[in-house]
A and B are shown apart, each in its own frame.
Chain A
């Protein structure tokens, strides 16, 4: 019995059906964590990418080093770091927020590389032309860089959303009751791990396949020549 839903362990099938509503509650947590984490990754990644282009060597090198470090160390350890070390500095966040923050931080290192690649792909001549035309920095980014960048970066950003979705179960380690966390709890109480864990895998599979298909559709729908912002 969990969240008011009792399970029926007579056969694997009835068990699977009876725990579906419980896993559904976990699924919402999984999706919420991925959404919050992805929002953090998109924004923080952009900040990192722009700082990396700073004229001051100290800033660009520090950011480059930070990004590389975050990219090459495990999410789980970063999660433990945030979960146990932040409270030492007086920052006490609920487990869910810590988890979303860890996801966002790890993936901001990836997205910053995507943004950087997108900006670098703009030919030098266009930057020079923008200078020659006396465009401001804002105008250059808004009217020249971003419109061409978007179709190029959407596929990679989308792929990272799918990977992030698949990494959310790690959050169950710090007591977040996502799908895997709930499946484990059901397993502990019924001594039946096979059905709950298989169900989690079976729910993830169509989710990731549909997400990938959607991203592919968006990728094909975007005009290669760019999207005007105005």
Chain B
């Protein structure tokens, strides 16, 4: 068997929105025979071998690989093989997938025929791990998890997790995830969870226990939908004797039974420091299908990035939410309200620092918006360029936001009056693939008398920032 080395003759044929095939360094002295093939040579795949299957069922593997047979040129073969390999990896069936393409041999071989061999190594029955995770409430946590991947052979997995957060929160969750075959990547998740958390800025602590059913799919390869049903029993209590009476009045147990739809369109080139593209996320939640909590919530998050010149990125973000009450019998609890303030939503203000409060405890609002204009630049003098320095960005920003009460008239008027504005400069540091840390020096410019302002250094950690 020889090694196939392909030379890309046509520079202009680069597929958009997909990554190029990674280049591999090949030592030519070790090859028995080298042959140069042009990429546009007509080729077709005669056979696909898959070695190493154990408990994985054949149909799901066939479904991922069947597209390869439609290739007509060599470049298409390479490209589709790469896509198939990515799909197999994403199904969490295997630990390792390696591909081997060779000229087709044997009695049934055609003139331009190729044989593709996938060598796969299945995942162990039970996999465990300890990692760290960043949550979106300015909290880092330690996660201990146990996963049983590929339980029935079609990519189903059962995972249990326990996490302990920096804000003394404890989470337990057990989830069962089943991906389905099909072009639209449908995935079904069912899980139960228990989550304790404390909110000193609002004076309460809560224990949530419930179950979640989630059905996710792509209606278009860029549009992801998630349909969820969430039933949760929340036990709320005051955090100390000094909590305000308004918070104490909401102590007790409530049952929230809600339907949720999340729409995500992510056109960015990368999630943490994107240089182009935009992200839109729309969430609608209707609570009131049973239980004693009822509301209709709509929120959105929009982010647009524009590259000014190399490594200088201008980013605009806008986030907002609007909540309706439903009838008199169902109530809205403190833990359902919108809170504005903090390094993730409005820099320059303490967490939950903007909005109505009682005795120093934030009570939340029914409507809010928050926007920002950011300029990301590499660190001055570019230390560690190409390596360590790429984890950092200097960050100049202007944030503005406001809250409103939807029960009274004219929400837009309320949002226009008493606008809160802040600006500042800081450093943003990438953490892994999903999160970042920000250390900013903030200057709040416009705020109300009751707001809790954070002038000076503010530290934030999270996944989604405004």
Partners in one complex: no
Q: CB within 8 Å of A: which residues of B?
A: none
